[in-house]
A and B are shown apart, each in its own frame.
Chain A
Amino acid sequence: MEQSWRQAKTAFAAIAVPPLVWLLLFFLVPLAVIWAYSFGENVGPVTIDLTGTFANYMRALEPLYLQIFWKSIIIAGLTTLLCLIIGFPVALAIAFASPRMKAWLLLLIMLPFWTNLLIRTFALIAVLRENGYINFTLEWLWNNASGLMTLLGLQPLGEFEPLTLLYNNFAVVVGLVYVHLPFMVLPLYSALDRMDRSLMEASLDLGAGHMRTILLVVVPLAAPGIASGVLITFIPALGAYLTPDLLGGTDSQMIANVIERQFKRANDWPFGAALSFLLMYLTFIAIAVQALVQRRGERRGT
């Protein structure tokens, strides 16, 4: 049973004060300052007047920025969907593997997560760029095919044109999926692992195929796990900065890149602050929606 704080006031103070002060001073105060700045105006090169204006938010709702918000949501949503499509069978396979195999597979899925994000993105550049591994392999295949056609007396294929796989939206989505896949697999795995397997056996015994069993039995049972996997993939993908910055082209700016520009280059802190808070509100909305879905699922389950 939890103890009331009144019963041990000194102990409570000794335990609670350091983390609470830290959280307040080094997290909540910085956020509060940004929040205040989002209602401010630039009056000099370094002075910001807190005038209580909504102009920054109005500007953020202009079509140009609204479109970037929309694009970020689409890219993050597509990333989440792809992670779910790839991650679900992987999680299913891990959950039903032998215990020894399971431990190894989980470690293999988790290990890239411990590797530096920048390094992983950099590694992808070497794969996708114009003279990268994919184009290199394709060129080799192309030239061999071309040689084979000449050998058969046919017209050779002509010059190989490298595919543009980098610095576009495609690269951003590939990069985001690459980085966030472990986030999706782990919650899916833990939901599938806890599931009552006799229900699946019953479904199979009663004549449903594997696809039907998965869609009609496994997916509903694993819904809470799917919901949390979707959430923890979507949130970081929505606020991604590094991936669109390094892999994207001029038209693949996401919202985080715009925020960075306001603070580092355009030096328009109030507008950047407003954009940051809009991104944060979007994140909170996503969390609220997930909580709602989860609660509804639980109510149906009981």
Chain B
Amino acid sequence: MNTAARARERKEKPGPLEYMRQWPLRVTVIATLVFLYLPLITLMVFSFNDSRRNIVWQGFTFKYYEKAFNNASLMEAFGNSLTIAFVCTILSVILGALTAVMLWRFRFPGKTVVEGGMALPIVVPEICMGVAMLVFFARVMPWPQGMPWPFNLGAIIIAHTSFAFPFVATVVRARLASFNRELEEAAKDLGASEWRTFWDVLVPHMQPGLIAGALLAFTLSLDDFVITFFTAGPDTITFPVKVYSMLRFSVTPEVNAASTVLIVLTVALTAIGLHLQNRNEQKAKA
């Protein structure tokens, strides 16, 4: 095919379905992706750079990773963050699943109010929730001081769970919409108890929603800075709060290294979550 024919062919199908083929949109998409990724990629690349000013490439080094791993308080903060995220995920999945089942299964007086109340933690600005938690744990229900690890993290875990579980509920409820209620009735007719029906019929159906919700809760907790900033005490520093205080002093390549570890971790977790979800969907189709 000569060039003229190819050009004609291209001209002949300018269908609206081919926006991705038109250069203005293509340029916009590429520019947006560059805008989103370039800062993160340079941050990751320069964490291996053998220079403190980290702007000109000076050679490859693992020095700053070593430094970050040897920084005891940074590692402690990292451990705290993972522990909080883990416990918060378990609590959020349980509470979120119960919320979703409650709103999906039952008719009860004041349901609209409950639905609105469950949406509140999603829409209330983080800063408002942060100061509310600060006051709550300072005046209303002081968390006992000097508890052994990990119980000293209780206040942060509670605060994180309060904003994470309504997100889980939304995800699980969307999944429940596709459940055939007759299956539940059939199980009960065949003599299964309320509990067995819930555990053997409803929970397996909810599973993809539960996994997606767990992933969401985990990243929301790991990501949170503002609310933790108001609930964390001097001995309960999380990773974002620690990085924040390091940034206040100076921007060191050590922070780059620690951030890179966290980025890789979250990307890996997301990949695993998406993979599990895909596998489940394929299983459901088969």
Contact = CB atoms under 8 A, between A and B. Distances in A.
Q: Do A and B share a complex?
A: yes
Interface of A: 1-5, 8, 10-12, 15-16, 18-20, 22-23, 26-31, 33-34, 37, 86, 89-90, 92-98, 101, 105, 107-109, 111-112, 114-120, 122-127, 131-133, 136, 178, 181-182, 197, 200-201, 204, 213, 235-236, 238-239, 241-242, 246, 256, 259-260, 263, 269, 272-273, 276-277, 279-280, 283-284, 287
B128 A280 contact: yes
Given A94-B29, A114-B223, A126-B46, 18 more contacts: A3-B106, A4-B106, A16-B98, A18-B98, A30-B133, A33-B140, A86-B28, A108-B37, A116-B266, A122-B247, A122-B255, A126-B54, A136-B55, A197-B17, A239-B128, A269-B135, A280-B128, A283-B125
B211 interface: no
27 contacts: A2-B107, A15-B101, A18-B94, A19-B99, A23-B121, A26-B136, A26-B161, A30-B135, A95-B19, A96-B18, A96-B20, A108-B36, A111-B270, A112-B40, A114-B266, A115-B223, A118-B225, A125-B251, A127-B38, A127-B42, A131-B55, A178-B35, A182-B36, A236-B126, A259-B128, A263-B131, A287-B123
Contact of B267 (A4, A111, A238): A111
A279 B127 contact: yes
A15 B104 CA distance: 11
Interface in B185-223: 194, 219, 222-223
B127 A114 contact: no
A123 B16 contact: no
Contacts of B82: none
Nearest to A96: B19
B67 interface: no
Interface residues of B, number: 84
B90 interface: no
B32 to A, nearest CB: 5
A235 B123 contact: yes
A263 B133 CA distance: 12
Nearest to B184: A3
Contacts, number: 246
A2 B18 CA distance: 44
B165 interface: yes
A287 B82 CA distance: 34
Among A10, A27, A37, the one with the most B-chain Cβ atoms within 10 Å of its Cβ is A27
Contacts of A107: 274
Interface stretch (B1-9, B112-120, B145-153): B112-120
A47 B244 CA distance: 31
B39 interface: yes
